[in-house]
Amino acid sequence: MSSSLDNGEKELRSYENIRQKYEKYLLEAAGDYRKQNVIHEKVITEAVQLAIEHTREEWGTPPSPFAFFVMGSAGRNEQALWSDQDHGIVFQGSDRHEQDYFLTLGIKIEGVMSRLGYPRCEGKVMASSPRWCHGINEWIEQVDRWIKDDKWSTLRHLLTLMDARVVIGSEDLLKKVKKHAFIKGKQSIYLLKRLAENAKMFQPGTNLFGQLIYERTGQFTGAIPIKNAVLFPYVHALKLLSFKRSIYETETIERMRLLSNDYSFLAHKRKLFIDMLELRSSFSKQQHSYQDVHYVPISQLSKGERKRVKEAVKEGKELLHHAKSTLWSNEEKRGR
């Protein structure tokens, strides 16, 4: 009993040490989203390593090579000050023999990250869920099921997986799963069209008169929903184009760079997107929860910043339209 309590206290101290070490640096990096993401990466890496140690103590050495990967804003290196959990595991073995071990590891990771201030994903997109923790063959089978089911929810899972990026473990394991999905995309114009149809339009950022739309009621009255209205059209447009072109890179600005020669409509979008990420990051010291990072108070924007946000909204809407049109069309046969 005493040993168990000692271990519990030791774990708590470990969490506190990690959190205290990086909390100050995250705030000091306000306005520099790149630095904030570097710090998040270090926190997540330490958290996962801690969970691996705890799992090894209870269950022994991992039964096969594996990869822990992050998705969502973490996968794209676009996290704000606060971020929730989106992650998964792929391992070399089979679900039948080894999934229990890696689900246990996933549960440990979920718990450690929660203690470090990363809220659990409401949609359970976490390595603690059987859907996001598989052997490589079962992962490939699941991708096939998602495509065959052809539902909004399953195609959304597929697009979520496209943002997956390995933090710890073998990158080749995840790459094999993505490669299978890309091959399926090349084999099916219908799949590309369905993915385009499922890229929903997001909250409009401006009204018919070109004025910025902000929240009129509730906790975020007077704030612009920068995540949904400004950033997401860029994120989803590049995700669609990258799927079509079999691009393994997950960061939106890098996807733009790699695809810029193929699609002329990407010109000048990269700087706009970076400006919006930096604008959101500049409000870090006013953000106290995961919900806060999705909004920017319009009253605190300068005239120049408002103009830039309007431009970003307009360009993002056009970008998503072009991306969806590209997948709807038969252009993949012509390479453009």
What is 159-223 written as a DSSP string?
HHHTT-EEEEE-HHHHHHHHHHHHHHHHH-HHHHHHHHHHS-----SB-TTSPBP---SSTTTTE
Residue extents of the structural domains in the chain: 2-187, 198-333
Q: What are the structure tokens assigned to 253, written together?
A: 């600005």
Largest alpha-carbon pair distance within the chain?
Answer: 69
Q: What pLDDT shows up at residue 118?
A: 93
SS3 state at 269: helix
Q: What pLDDT shows up at residue 293?
A: 80
Q: Please classify residue 37 by burial: count the beta carbons closer than 10 Å to its beta carbon, then call 0-12 exposed, 13-18 middle and 19+ buried.
A: buried
Q: How many angstroms separate the first and last alpha carbons of the chain?
A: 66
Helix axes 232-244, 189-198, angle to 10 degrees: 170
Q: Of the CATH numbers 3.30.460.10, 3.40.50.2030, 3.40.50.80, 3.30.70.600, which one belongs to the domain with range 2-187?
A: 3.30.460.10
Q: Model pTM? A: 0.91
**What is the residue type of 310?**
K
Question: Could you report the average pLDDT of every consecutive run of 10 residues in the chain (336 residues)?
Answer: 47 69 79 90 93 95 98 96 94 94 98 92 96 98 97 94 98 98 93 85 63 74 88 96 97 97 92 95 77 86 94 94 85 40
Which of 89, 79, 98, 90 lies closest to 40 in space, CA to CA? Answer: 79
Cβ-Cβ contacts under 8 Å for 281 (sequence gap 6 or more):
29, 30, 31, 32, 33, 36, 80, 81
